[in-house]
Amino acid sequence: MLISKISPYDVIIIGAGINGCCSAYTLAQAGLNVALIDQDGIAAGGSGAAGAFISPKISKAGELKGIMGEAHAEALHFYTTNFPQFTLVKPLLHIANSPQEGEKVESFKHETHIKHSNIPHKIQILLSDEAINTPSIYFDIGAVVDAQGVCHAMVEGIDFYPRKVENLIHHDGTWQIGDLNAKHLVLAIGAYPKLLPIDYVGLRGIWGHRIDIETSTHIPCILHHHVSISLTSNAGVVAIGATHDVHYSPFSGEPYDREQGRAQLLEKASKTLKLNNINIINDYTGLRSGSNDYLPMLGSLVDAEAVLQKYPHLRHGERVDPSEYTYYPNLTMINGSGGYGFVLAPYLAKRLKEFIAEGKEINPVLSPSRFFPRWAKRQS
Ligand SMILES: Cc1cc2nc3c(=O)[nH]c(=O)nc-3n(C[C@H](O)[C@H](O)[C@H](O)COP(=O)(O)OP(=O)(O)OC[C@H]3O[C@@H](n4cnc5c(N)ncnc54)[C@H](O)[C@@H]3O)c2cc1C
């Protein structure tokens, strides 16, 4: 076993995507001593690829809608207050991308408290016939953040260790990760291999491609339709994103077809408006890590082997109160944000801070262990 050479931290965070960086920032702001680890650098995974739009999720009533609504309001306030230099605020036009979404947009319009109005004439004249004749909602305020810029800014002054974590050791009340140790461990590893036997955590990686372009067409607001099209906080740069490719995995060893991705993005963008004199200046690709029930994940992880040993009848569907489960000590997972990682990160990081620093309970609806009983039943 490695002996720690470095003075102990309060928290070690594995993964420096938006969830890891925002957690590091929020915990450090609360006075905790934080170490951040990533095998590829800051915002090198899915987070670096994100268009990073801070947009409301157009969803029907329910748990997800409530959480996403709260997260969206908190995120707008968080980025515009703490990182205004990386945040561009513009109106946002959301156009439905299918008849089913059209119904959702219409009912969202009637229920939402988010300020919206009619599409201004100067925007209407830019839109294609398809876009203008489809249900849409024009929000007075939307935002897009510079994904890599904001992640780097969040972790300024925080100890960063560029390394791949191979295994997790808990000994004498501390987590030992190589030569680092801490009481608390946060797993913010997105769609990467899970590091623990937690197969019950229902996550899937969805590959995405976004491009930055220059164009002579003026884009007056953030547009979401078949893809998103928007100015960015980098002057003159327009972002178009993103594809949703459920078939490609970077872990398969197969090369990714970048030209096909680019063509798909430009073809989808052309359904919203005509972009003139396009020059592609950058490609970004990565995996979003989505949960099976679309809710994000924040909470403790069940030690499946220990629990199945204690309650073997879980395999036959016996109900056990989750408070009776054995959990990995002082270990919290933050994950499963799907295409809304930048919207959800400030909301999740705040609740993580309240849990670790103030002992406040996390909403059990977010628990990554919510998938455990159903998984256990399939183990017979
Ligand atoms: C193309 C695209 C566009 C998107 N657009 C938006 C958008 O407009 N708005 C929005 O809110 N969200 C958007 N998203 C979603 C958002 O990017 C994700 O929800 C977010 O990146 C998830 O962040 P994360 O920190 O959980 O994971 P990641 O960013 O994937 O970070 C996980 C990190 O963990 C590290 N790691 C994993 N295992 C180990 C290990 N063993 N040792 C060391 N390091 C490890 C990885 O290297 C990685 O850097 C988009 C995503 C993509 C791909």
Tens-place pLDDT, residues 143-152: 999 999 999 9
Mutate to test the pocket of ligand 1, among 47, 78, 264, 285 (most ligand atoms within 8 A of CB): 47
Q: Which CATH architecture has domain 9-45+150-202+293-377?
A: 3-Layer(bba) Sandwich (3.50)
User: Which residues face 127 on adjacent strands?
Assistant: 273
d(CA 227, CA 61): 24
pLDDT at residue 96 is higher than 60: yes
Ligand 1 atom nearest the C-alpha of 163 is 43
Ligand 1 atom nearest the C-alpha of 340 is 11
Mean pLDDT of the 17-40 span = 98
Helix, strand, coil % in the chain, rounded to nearest 5: 35, 30, 35
Distance in Å, CA 111 to ligand 1 centroid? 31
pLDDT, position 62: 86
Per residue in 46-64, pLDDT tens?
999 999 999 999 988 789 9
pLDDT at residue 334 is higher than 50: yes
Ligand 1 atom nearest the C-alpha of 344 is 11
Mean pLDDT of the 314-324 span = 94
pLDDT, position 6: 59
Smallest CA separation from ligand 1 atom 22, residue? 341
Sequence-separated (6 or more) residues with CB below 8 Å from residue 81: none
Ligand 1 atom nearest the C-alpha of 207 is 53
Report yes or no: 186 and 352 within 8 Å, Cβ to Cβ.
yes
pLDDT, position 137: 98
Binding-site residues, ligand 1, Cβ < 6 A: 14-20, 37-40, 44-47, 49-53, 164-165, 188-190, 192, 195, 208, 210, 241-242, 286, 288-289, 335, 337-343
d(CA 11, CA 184): 5
Per residue in 197-235, pLDDT tens?
999 998 999 999 999 999 999 999 999 999 999 999 888
pLDDT higher at 373 or 233: 373
The model's pTM? 0.96
The tokens for 182 are 């801490």
pLDDT, position 340: 97
Domain segments of the chain: what residues? 9-45+150-202+293-377, 87-143+206-287
d(CA 56, CA 68): 7
Sign of CA dihedral 353, 351, 160, 330: positive
- Phi (first) and psi of residue 251, to 5 degrees: -85, -5
- The answer for 157, left when phi > 0, alpha when psi is -120 to 50, beta otherwise, is left
Sequence-separated (6 or more) residues with CB below 8 Å from residue 359: none
**Per-residue confidence band for 242, with pLDDT thresholds at 50, 70 and 90:** very high
User: In CATH, which of 3.30.9.10, 3.10.20.600, 2.60.40.650, 3.40.640.10 is domain 87-143+206-287?
Assistant: 3.30.9.10
The tokens for 346 are 């400030």
Report yes or no: 188 and 19 within 8 Å, Cβ to Cβ.
yes
pLDDT, position 380: 74
Mean pLDDT of the 318-342 span = 96
pLDDT, position 61: 77
The tokens for 201 are 């955590």
Sequence-separated (6 or more) residues with CB below 8 Å from residue 252: none
Mutate to test the pocket of ligand 1, among 175, 195, 337, 366 (most ligand atoms within 8 A of CB): 337
d(CA 300, CA 298): 7
Mutate to test the pocket of ligand 1, among 79, 189, 298 (most ligand atoms within 8 A of CB): 189
